[in-house]
Amino acid sequence: MNISANVLRTYIACPEENTSLRHLLDDVGIEVKKVDGDVFSVELLANRGDHYCYAGIARELSGRLGGEICLPAYTALEVGESGPKISVETDLCLVYSATYLEASESQDFSPEILAPLLAADIHSLGGPIDATNLSNMEFGQPTHVFDADRVVGTICIRCSHEGEQAWPLFAEDKIVLPTGTMVIADEEKILAIAGVIGCEESKTTENTRRIILESACFEPVHVRKTSRAISTHTTSVARFERGSDPSFPLVGAGRVVHLLEQHGWKRVGATTLHSSWSDSHRKIEIRADQANAFLGTDITRDEIVMRLQRYGFQCERDVESIYVGVPPHRIWDVETVADLYEDLAKSIGYNNTPIMLPLIGCGAQPTREEVIRATVEDILLGLGFYEVITDGFYGSNLLSLLQLPEGHPLCSHVSTKNALDRGYSLLKNNALLHAIAAVSKNIKRHIFDLKIYEWTRYFILDPEAENGLCREQLVLWGAVCGQERPGLWTQDPHKSDVFFLKGLLEEIANELRLPLSLAETDTAHPLHSSLHPFRQRQIMLRGQVVGILGEIHPEIARRFKIKKQRACYFEIETAALYQQQAPLQYTIPHAIQPLTRTVSFALPQGLSAKRIQDSIAKFCTSVQIYDLFPFVQEDEQWASVTFSLCFENPEGTLSAESVNTSLQEMISAVMQEYQSFGVYQR
C-alpha cells in the first residue's frame, strides 16, 4: 500500500523529516519497504484490516506518540424509509446501507483532495468513484456506487444460485459464480459481488446523474473465499477479508456524501440501513503486575489505561484489574490479554523494553524419545547428512511424475479446497516425492554429492481414524546420491548407494539395540513401484514392516531430470525407533577361536543366494554371505557369491582336516542339489 507522508501528517502530528517518520512506522510494526519522495510503500500486517487506511495508521502512531487524530469531515446521514428499498437474505451481510444522490452538475475533484489516490497510483475516474476510493483510503470503509437508472426494483443481498452468472467490472464476459456466493442483486441481474467487485451492468458512466451509494460490512472469511474462487483481488477485498469496522458503514458513506455534495451532487431522501450486527462489548481483564511480568517493565495502572485508550480501547478499573472494552475496529484481532500486551509493547516501543532472559524454575531431563532422536541424529550428522524441511502438501503435477496406476494406494489423498497455490492442493501421503524433488533441485545446482534427512509426517486417508478423515504417520526419511565421502584429494570409489543405507541402518540398529533387519519387498508396499525392482528392501522389526530402502526407479529419476546419478532413499517409522531396546548381553568368548573357511559359487540370475546359504548351514555352525560380484556369462547375468563358514571349536577337539572334510561334503551336497540350475564352484 502506498501512502503520502504529507497526507498522513494532516491526520496526526508526527515527525516532519521523512527518515524519522520511516523509522517510527517501522518501529510500530508498519514496515516501510520503499520511499519515493513523500510516498511511502508500506507492508501491513495480514491480521490488521484497520491499518489499511490513513485513519488506521494514524491511530497506530497515536498509540506511540499520543495526541489527537484529525479525521476528514463527513456528513451525518439520516436513516429512514425514504431511501432505496433493500432486502437482506443472508447472515453473511452484517451491515448494509443505501443512499440516493443525484447531480445537476458533476464537478471534478481538485488535486489536493485527490492526493491520497495519487500517492497510491489510483487514477481519477470521475466524482462518484473518486469519492468512494477516497473514503476507502481515508477511513478504511469500502463503498460502491450503482447507476440508479440501471437498477430495477429492490436491491437484494443474497447468496447466488447454482449456475448463476455475473459480469464483473473489467471482465470480457460473464462468469459463473460458485453456488452460495454473496451478491448484491436487483430483480433482474447481479449488481455486484459482495465485498469483492462491482458489475458492468450497474456501473456508473460519465453520463450518470443518479446514483445509489452502498456502504456495508461483510463476513470476512466469506469475502476472502469468494476472492480466491473467482481469482479477483481489489482494495475492497484487502479491507473486507481482514475484517472491516461494523460501526463505520454510515461514516464511510457520510464521507462520500460530504465530498459529492461539495461537487454538484445532493442527497435524495434518507439512507436505508439494515444491520444484524450488535456490539458484544467484549471485555478483557488485564492486571498491571501480570503485564509488567510479561513485558519486563514497571508501568503503572494509569499508564496502561492511558496507552490502551490511545488505540481506542475503553477501560474500566476496579481494585486490582482493568477491564478493557474492545472497540469495533479491533473485534477481529483482539481476543485475549496477550493481544493487549502486544499493543502495550508497541506503545512503549520494543527497543524500550528491557532485554532479559525469562526466569525459569528447574530444568527437565530429556525424555527417552528425545534421547533416541538425538542419538540417531548424531549418526546421521557423523555420516555427512544435512537436515531439511519440506512442506506438508504437494500438487497433483508433482504426483503425476510417479505415473501411478488407477487405484494405487498413493492416489488417495486428503485434498484442500480453495488452495492459494496449486502446489498445495494435496496433503502429502508419502515422503518420497519431496525427497526426489529435493535431490533433483540440488542436482540442478550442481550439488551431486548429497545426503539429506528429515523427521516428518504424512497423512494416510482413513475414514476409521479418530478424526474421521486420516491418520498421521511419523517417519524419518533420508536420501543420498554421489560419493560417500566427497572432498577427498583422490577420487572416492565408494558411492552412497543402497549398501551405504544398509550400513547406516545397521549402525542405527546397533546403537539403539533394535533387531532391525531387511527382507524382500512386498509388491503391495505403496513405494514398491517407485523404487528399483532389484535394489530395494523392506525394513523389518520383530516381524513387522517398519520402513523401506532402495534406489529410486530409473524411469522416475528420469522424469525428475536426475541424470547420471543413482539416488537412493530410505524411510523408517519413528515409532519403531522408540520401541523397547534389547538388553545388553555379554558372552565370554572361547579361549580357542573358531575355524573359518570361504567358498564361492557361481549362480545364474533368478536363483537366490539365500537358498544356497540355507543348504550350507547344515554343515557348519553359521554361514554369512561374504562377497557378491555380478558378471556376464554367455550374454546372461550371473553372480559370484562368496560364503564365509564358521566352525565353532570350544573344546579344541576340531581339527583342520575334519573341517576340510566337512567343507568337501558341503560342496558335493550343494552341487548335487543345484548343478541342474547351472551352479558351479569358482
pLDDT in tens, 446-463: 999 999 999 999 999 998
Same domain for 91 and 52? no
In a domain, 49, yes or no: yes
Q: How many domains does the chain have?
A: 5
Same domain for 257 and 296? no
> Average per-residue pLDDT in the chain?
92
What pLDDT is attached to residue 423? 78
What pLDDT is attached to residue 330? 93
Question: Rounded mean pLDDT of 611-621?
Answer: 93
The number of residues making up the chain comes to 682
pLDDT in tens, 210-237: 999 999 999 999 999 999 999 999 999 9
In a domain, 600, yes or no: yes
Domain that residue 319 falls in: 283-352
Evaluate if residue 479 carries a pLDDT over 70: yes
All three cell numbers of 23: 523509522
Pick the closest to residue 522 from 512, 514, 513, 531 (CA basis).
531
User: What confidence tier does 325 reach under pLDDT thresholds 50, 70, 90?
Assistant: very high
Q: Which residues contact 343 (CB under 8 A, 6 or more apart)?
A: 63, 307, 308, 311, 313, 334
All three cell numbers of 387: 537436515
What pLDDT is attached to residue 70? 94
Question: What's the rounded Cα separation, in Å, for the pair 55 and 11?
Answer: 7
Strand order in the sheet with 595-604: 622-633, 636-647, 595-604, 680-681
Same domain for 418 and 540? yes
Same domain for 43 and 111? no
3-state secondary structure of 407: coil
Looking up cell 502429502 gives: 428
Question: What's the rounded Cα separation, in Å, for the pair 385 and 390?
Answer: 16
In a domain, 583, yes or no: no
Same domain for 109 and 210? yes
Same domain for 407 and 320? no
Q: Which residues contact 221 (CB under 8 A, 6 or more apart)?
A: 241
Same domain for 99 and 46? no
Same domain for 535 and 624? no
In a domain, 212, yes or no: yes
**Residue 14: φ, ψ to 5°:** -140, 170
Same domain for 600 and 529? no
For the chain, the maximum distance between any two Cα atoms, rounded to a whole number of angstroms, is 124
The percentage of residues in the chain with a pLDDT greater than 90, rounded to a whole number, is 78
In a domain, 113, yes or no: yes
> Is beta strand 531-541 parallel, antiparallel or unpaired with respect to 165-166?
unpaired
Strand order in the sheet with 470-481: 386-387, 450-461, 470-481, 568-573, 544-552, 531-541, 516-519
CATH number, domain of 437, equals 3.30.930.10
CB-CB contact of 286 with 322 (8 Å) = yes
What pLDDT is attached to residue 126? 87
The percentage of residues in the chain with a pLDDT greater than 70, rounded to a whole number, is 99
pLDDT in tens, 12-29: 999 999 999 999 999 998
Same domain for 307 and 323? yes
Same domain for 305 and 261? no
What pLDDT is attached to residue 355? 81
Q: Which residues contact 183 (CB under 8 A, 6 or more apart)?
A: 157, 158, 159, 160, 164, 166, 177, 190, 191, 192, 193, 194
Q: Which residues pair with 519 in a beta bridge?
A: 538
CATH number, domain of 226, equals 3.50.40.10
CB-CB contact of 309 with 66 (8 Å) = no
Question: Rounded mean pLDDT of 535-564?
Answer: 94
Q: Which of 522, 545, 577 is the last residue of a domain?
A: 577
pLDDT in tens, 288-301: 999 999 998 999 99
Read off the amino acid at residue 110: S
Q: DSSP character for 234?
A: -
**Other Cβ atoms closer than 10 A to 353:** 13
Evaluate if residue 142 carries a pLDDT over 90: yes
CATH number, domain of 31, equals 3.30.56.10
Question: What's the rounded Cα separation, in Å, for the pair 57 and 263?
Answer: 28
> CA separation (Å) from 263 to 257, 299, 610?
10, 50, 95
Same domain for 269 and 298? no
In a domain, 81, yes or no: no
CATH number, domain of 675, equals 3.30.70.380
3-state secondary structure of 290: helix
| Cα 128 versus chain centre, distance | 41
3-state secondary structure of 286: strand
Q: Which residues contact 491 (CB under 8 A, 6 or more apart)?
A: 483
> CA separation (Å) from 564 to 342, 482, 554?
54, 9, 10
User: What confidence tier does 75 reach under pLDDT thresholds 50, 70, 90?
Assistant: very high
Evaluate if residue 419 carries a pLDDT over 70: no
In a domain, 407, yes or no: yes
3-state secondary structure of 496: coil
Question: Rounded mean pLDDT of 416-425?
Answer: 76
In a domain, 628, yes or no: yes
